[in-house]
Amino acid sequence: MASNLRRLRVFRNPGESTAATTKAVFEDLFVLELANNHLGRLDRGLRIIAEHARIVRFNNVRAAIKLQFRDVETFVHKDYRDRQDVRYIKKTVATAMQKRDYRDLVNATVEGGCIPMATPFDERSVELCEELDIPIVKLASSDINDWVLIEKIATTRKPVIASTGGSSLKDIDDLITFFANRNIPLAINHCVSIYPSEDGELELNQIDFLKQRYPDNVIGFSTHEYSNWEDSVTIAYAKGARTFERHIDIEMDKVPVSAYCSLPHQIDTWFRAFHRVRQLCGAPGTQKRIPPEKEIRYLDALVRGVYARRPLKAGEQLTTDDVYLAIPLLRGQLSCRELMNGEVLRSDCAQDRPVSIDMIDGPHARNRSLQELLYSRGLDPESTTSSLLAMNQALAPEPVPQTPIAQNPISQTNVAPEQLESTELEAAQPGGSRRNRRGVQ
């Protein structure tokens, strides 16, 4: 479990470029924001971590579970700590935890196979990040131009993810320059700080803007929407976002769950949508994809072969007037791809017969790899199967094995616990009624 921490320490190799380190730290990283949903209770925090870590393991994704640190003594002015009419102050004081509790939450995160992460809101909380060995630090949207805090975070040399809700372009430019000058890995999250966010408020095209303006930084998407767990991550990934964040919670003790928070089965849906879009998008857009073998075979069956237009004699130089192109392409036969004027024949070829690589005298005809390629494609001329049938078989697409993302027992919220196998029972999550209440099918 602690391998997550060790791996992140390796990323901070001083001999590695910042760009490479940034990609290694942030690429395909999910951040599950626990925030203050522990409500100041260790047992509730541990349960949130355990239930979501199970979803992470089942979906085989790389995820961090993030806490928020506020040192009440310094963060809230002493004259205002008892104010009940200021919601932020009231919630901060009411959900404060002891350092030992935070340590227990961090340990539980690591034991659950996730990466511990935290947002410090003051300088003492940055020190707590160091004390608890937090590998990645989050900079909240509200603090994107809090330079006292940013300077303190930079002293840790830890990788940083910064959200950009409500920011100006200069705010982001300054932050990028600051961390680049210090060779500290930085990811930038597109974020709309509206809780919850409607679909029309997500502004996903900002991902395009951020990727174009900051090509050396990983761009992410932090969302507070509440109506869908598939569409936005699909669009964001296709646009190039590579780190993703949502708030998480559980249904426990009849405590209301905020609309912008996700329950375990909804996070499961989110992860599955990610796997699906990554499969659809394929290779990175920064390089040419490598076609799979079945695609090559399919296209080879469509290529025209070279046939003799007239009887050809050894020693003749081929021209395009001496041959014609037609399907099917036979094994060992030259195709339109290899045909060149001036090739010298070293053996005769009858009219309407295929011109094979063995009939050509030249350096490329003695290329062993080219010979193997030509004899591995096309139809077998010795086959007793009719050419038409053989070509149809070659053109028929291979059956696609049905290997969807594993059917997750967690999604089976309508199954009674006593009907589940023991392994399914361990993974089953409550909350089906809330899914329906939100209108998610």
Tokens found for residue 400: 């696609």
Q: Tokens in use for 222? A: 């932090």
**Mean local confidence (pLDDT), 292-304:** 84
Q: What is the pLDDT of residues 93-119, one digit of tens each?
A: 999 999 999 999 999 999 999 999 999
pLDDT per residue over 8-39, tens digit each? 443 445 555 667 778 889 999 999 999 999 99
Give all domains of the chain, ordered by start, each with its CATH number.
Answer: 3-281 (3.20.20.70), 293-395 (3.90.1210.10)
Q: 62-69 and 136-139 as β-strands: parallel, antiparallel, unpaired?
A: unpaired
User: Sorting pLDDT into bands at 50, 70 and 90, what band is 224?
Assistant: very high
Q: What is the predicted pLDDT for the residue at 171? A: 96
Among residues 188, 214, 182, 240, the alpha carbon closest in space to that of 18 is found at 182
Q: What are the DSSP calls for 100-148, one per residue?
A: HHHHHHHHHHHHTT-EEEEEE-SHHHHHHHHHTT-SEEEE-GGGTT-HH
Query: What proportion of the chain, given as a percentage, has pLDDT over 70?
Result: 82
For residue 328, whether the previous peptide bond is cis, meaning omega lies within 30 degrees of 0, is: yes
Percentages helix, strand, coil for the chain, rounded to the nearest 5?
40, 15, 40
Confidence at residue 427, expressed as pLDDT on a 0 to 100 scale: 37
Neighbouring-strand partners of residue 62: 29
Please check the confidence at residue 268 and state whether its pLDDT lies above 90: yes
Identify the pLDDT of residue 22.
80
Q: What is the pLDDT of residue 418?
A: 36
DSSP letter assigned to residue 290: P
* CA 49 centroid distance within chain: 22
d(CA 312, CA 333): 15
Residues 367-381 have a mean pLDDT of 82
Provide the pLDDT confidence category of residue 396 given band limits of 50, 70 and 90.
low
Confidence grade of residue 386 (pLDDT, cut at 50, 70, 90): very low
Cα separation, 417 vs 401, whole angstroms? 31
pLDDT for 381: 79
Averaged over 220-235, what is the pLDDT? 95
Average pLDDT over residues 124-143: 97
- Which among 240, 284, 218, 285 has a CA at the least distance from the CA of 19? 218
Buried b / exposed e over 10-42, threshold 16 CB at 10 Å, is ebbeeeeebeebbbbbbeebbbbbbbbbbbeeb
pLDDT of residue 370: 77
Q: 387-395 vs 293-300: helix axis angle to the nearest 10?
A: 150
Dihedral of the alpha carbons of 157, 161, 166, 171, in degrees to the nearest 10 = 40
AA letter at 19: A
d(CA 261, CA 317): 75
**For residue 211, what are the contacts with CB-CB under 8 A and spacing of at least 6?**
219, 239, 240
Phi-psi region of 113 (alpha: psi -120 to 50; beta: other; left: phi over 0): left
Residue 401 pLDDT > 90: no
Tell me the average pLDDT across 209-237: 96
Q: Is the pLDDT of residue 398 over 80?
A: no
Which tokens is 66 given?
Answer: 């993030």
Q: Is the distance from CB of 222 to CB of 242 less than 8 angstroms?
A: no
Query: What residue has token string 């405590």?
Result: 255
pLDDT digits (tens, 9 = 90+) for 302-315: 889 999 999 999 99
How far apart, in whole angstroms, are the C-alpha atoms of residue 428 and residue 373? 52
- Element containing residue 266 per DSSP (H, E): helix 264-281
Q: Which residue do the tokens 């969807």 mark?
A: 404
Q: To which residue do tokens 């199967």 refer?
A: 385
**Confidence (pLDDT) at 249:** 97
pLDDT on residue 345: 93
Q: Which of 293, 318, 314, 288 is nearest to 373 (CA)?
A: 293
What is the tens place of the pLDDT at every residue in 316-333?
998 989 999 999 999 999
Q: Position of tokens 């760009």?
A: 19
Whole-number percent of the chain with pLDDT over 90: 67
- For the entire predicted model, the pTM comes to 0.73
Region for residue 431 given its phi and psi (left: phi exceeds 0; alpha: psi -120 to 50; beta: otherwise): left
- The mean per-residue pLDDT over the stretch 411-438 comes to 37
pLDDT at position 392 = 55
Chain center to CA of 196: 24
Asked if 322 and 328 touch (Cβ cutoff 8 Å), the reply is: no
pLDDT at residue 285 in the model: 74
Residue 77 DSSP class: -
Write the single-letter amino acid at 176: I
Check pLDDT > 70 for residue 74.
Answer: yes
